[in-house]
Chain A
Amino acid sequence: MRLAAFAFGLIGLALSAAGQATALEPEAERIFGSPDAPAIQVLSVTDLAAFSPVLQDYVDRHPDRSIRYVQASSTQIHAAIHDEGAQFDLVISSAMDLQMKLANDGLAASVELQVAGLPDWARWRDQLWGIALEPVVTLASRQALGDLPVPKTRRDLIALLRENPDRFRGKVAAYDPLVSGVGYFLIAQDDQVSDGFWRLAEVMGRLNARLFCCSGQMITELREGRIAIAYNVVASYAARFRPDDPDLVQLAFEDYTFAIIRSALVPVNAPDPEGARDLLGYLLSDPAQRLIADSAGVALIAGTGPAPVPQLRPIRLDAGLLVYDDRLRRAGLLSEWRAALIQP
């Protein structure tokens, strides 16, 4: 009982995090290739629609294999692999801290792969392999901004929101860190890098910002005009709409723009590690990297797509990521977030 005292006030948060980790509830599921061929089980956060060209290309090249692709949220994926012993061959997630924890806790198998050009910071040992670099951007609706200037930095954004509270009230969107693993991770990064972030959080709270589970929903809301600005959106989701939607403005802030690494690992209990290795090898190969860089807007392996812009800050895959998963740290950060966002 004494333990409860230490976690006082955090219990609600912990419960809400644990509550989601009951059973895997796939957001989408699809089989690529012939249903008769042996299937490689892939559990991934990546939007099925965004990833299907790559997976289709793989099964086209390997007619003797098929892929069962299961899409779920990053916290669900982590819980499924870490606590529930779910059996998958390849686990793909953008929640770098959770992926790192899986590998650190010994749940990722070593995979022998020779990948030319993969940066050191995009892999951990031979267990965690970065497969995509995903810039995290802010999206804005041109129509909603009207004649206001397009913000170039977070400071500009804070000023913009402060000066036009009526225009943006209830029309600012952000990740809900309680629900989204990526959302929490990005807030932790913002907290670490910039003091100004909490001012932004407070401004967003004052404007009754709406919180979402995923990038996709934010984009939908934005496109439908119910939202003017979406903060911290994974760029690859926006990429599908941007070319044919002139209203969508993508802002890569000049003070800093994070790029998270979407990474893949083969669990130690994978039923088909050989298939997983083969698929992973393909994902890191030149043709697949070109397809991935096409949707992410930036190349992970130099030469396969557009080079990163100077303000882009890739987050390294290393043991430092473990601190974000710490219970006390998470609790402290989330309580601060709630204090900033939920104002009386």
Chain B
Amino acid sequence: MMRGLLDPTRIVSLRRRLVWQFLLLSAVLVLGLFLVVGWVAERASRASQDAVLGAAVTAITEGIRSVDEGLELDLPYATFSMLGAMGDERIFYLLTVAGQGVTGYEDLPPPPSPATDMTPVFYGADYRGARLRLASVGRMMLIQNRLQPVTVTLGQTRLGQAAIARDTARSAAWAALGFMLLALPVALLAAQAVLQPIRALADVMGRRGPRDLRPVRHATPRELTPLLRALNGLIARLRAALELAETFIFEAAHRIRTPLSLVRAEAELALAETSDEATRIRLRRMVRAIGESSRSANQILDHAMVMYRTDQYAAARVDLAALAHDGLRAIGPIAEMRDIRITHDIAPCLIEGDERMLEIALRNLLDNAIKYAAPEGHVDLTLTCTDGQACLIVSDDGRGLSDDPAQLIGRFRRGGNVGDTGGSGLGLTIVTEVAHAHRGRFQLKPGQRGGTCALLHLPSA
């Protein structure tokens, strides 16, 4: 489980990973503290108990008196009582003279190196089923007129000391565990704080529009700079690729349009000059097809233009009313040719925007209206300007909508009921993109008296 949590490829949440690592580390610390404190406490209490044991054995040795009959030893009751006090210790002792046991436990294990002076020699040994800590001191004494070495050895079990060390270590572990629990919320907060810049960057990226290919300028911690640099590099490459594609399309359309006009002019000339009916029909179809092609080329050009200008979007003050008048003027001849009546109601309106893009959008809207209006029908353009919102409405009395308006806005999408009319399916896409570039909104809906109503909302200046 631990390995699974620490395996970077399996981590779902950085935060969880940080917290788990913290917990694991804390557990190791708690264990370490338990062992270290146990060891230190054991050493400390052994040192203090050794001091008591050493003092006791020294006191006993100093209490030995040489008398006529041999030795006199008054084992001090209080000393034994104190030695045994901590944890009911067992106590063993031995008094030897010249290596011969005189009193006490004669089979008590001797010190590793014989005690020769009053400095206690400490050692451990197993005796009578218990682990003992022993201290031994030596001394020369005049006994029956002979100088002889006297050794006193005193040993005790250390159950109390072991229990104290264990208790101390356990207390330390509990304290550490308590601190760990207290630190857990702090760790959570820390994990949160560490991850905050990442989350902020993710937010910034998430808020970007789908066509926003500007480099990311966002303050990040040093650790995230390489990621940001890589990201910006990627964006730059993507942008370059897109620009190349747009330029290519623009160039292609431009290069197609000019020869197309020439071919059209030639075809129209041929149509005027020939009287053979079959040839005329063929030539008329040709002229029509060429018209479609050049229209498509124009629209592709428009689209490329809109894309390009979106990227380089620079707003300026635009007189939308003047633009609308110009648009109507430009569309006038075609409308007249098809006997379509155009009405308008244009209020003065100034907005912040790109004049070229707005002009393209307007032309496409009017084109569509004329194209789909009923023969000898009616197209109306209304421009209103109220509380920061400019609203341009172009309505016709044509066949209306057969599809979901949202679908029609997609690139190269056309309605199911327009098979008999030429079109590239780019017109509405262009209008939508212009609306988005201006942070506006484009909508298609059925007109009040049949037909279609196109609404372009733009924030005004």
Contact = CB atoms under 8 A, between A and B. Distances in A.
A2 B100 contact: yes
A318 interface: yes
Contacts of B89: 319
A326 B100 CA distance: 16
B84 A326 contact: no
Contact of A8 (B69, B79, B80, B83): B69
A96 to B, nearest CB: 12
A323 B92 contact: no
Interface string B82-101: 11110011111001011010
A329 interface: yes
Given A5-B144, A8-B70, A9-B69, A323 B84 contact: no
B337 interface: no
Given A328-B102, A328-B103, A104 B73 contact: no
Interface string A8-19: 111000000000
Contact of A7 (B70, B81, B92): B70
Contact of A319 (B74, B80, B128): B80
Contacts of B130: 106
A321 B78 CA distance: 9
Contacts of A114: none
Contacts of A323: 75-77, 80
Interface residues of A, number: 28
A192 interface: yes
B73 A328 contact: yes
A104 B77 contact: no
Contacts of B91: 104, 319, 322
B129 interface: yes
Contacts of B78: 320
B81 A6 contact: no
B104 interface: yes
Nearest to B159: A125
A316 B82 CA distance: 12
A105 interface: yes
A332 B63 CA distance: 14
B72 interface: yes
Contact of B88 (A7, A8, A125, A326): A125
A116 interface: no
Interface in A306-330: 316, 318-324, 326-329
Contact of B104 (A7, A125, A316, A326): A326
Contacts of A106: 90, 128-130
Interface in B25-55: none
A10 B71 CA distance: 11
Which residue among A2, A9, A124 has the maximum number of chain B CB atoms within 10 Å of its CB? Answer: A2
Contact of B77 (A10, A320, A328, A332): A320
A323 B56 CA distance: 13
B294 to A, nearest CB: 108
Interface in B123-143: 128-130, 143
Nearest to B83: A319
Given A5-B144, A326-B75, A124 B88 contact: yes
Contacts of B104: 326-327
A128 to B, nearest CB: 9
A264 to B, nearest CB: 16
Contact of A326 (B73, B82, B128, B143): B73
A332 B72 contact: yes
Contacts of A316: 81
Contacts of A10: 69
Nearest to B156: A319
Given A318-B81, A319-B84, A2 B98 contact: yes
Nearest to B148: A2
A327 B93 CA distance: 12
Given A326-B75, A328-B103, A329-B74, A318 B69 contact: no
Contacts of B75: 322-323, 326, 328-329
A331 to B, nearest CB: 9
Given A6-B69, A329-B74, 8 more contacts: A106-B129, A124-B88, A318-B81, A320-B82, A320-B84, A322-B75, A327-B104, A328-B95
Interface of B: 69-85, 88-92, 95, 97-98, 100, 102-104, 128-130, 143-144
15 contacts: A2-B98, A2-B100, A7-B70, A9-B69, A106-B130, A192-B77, A318-B85, A319-B84, A319-B89, A320-B78, A322-B80, A323-B77, A326-B103, A328-B102, A329-B103
Closest 6 CB pairs of A and B: A319-B84, A320-B81, A6-B70, A323-B75, A327-B103, A328-B73
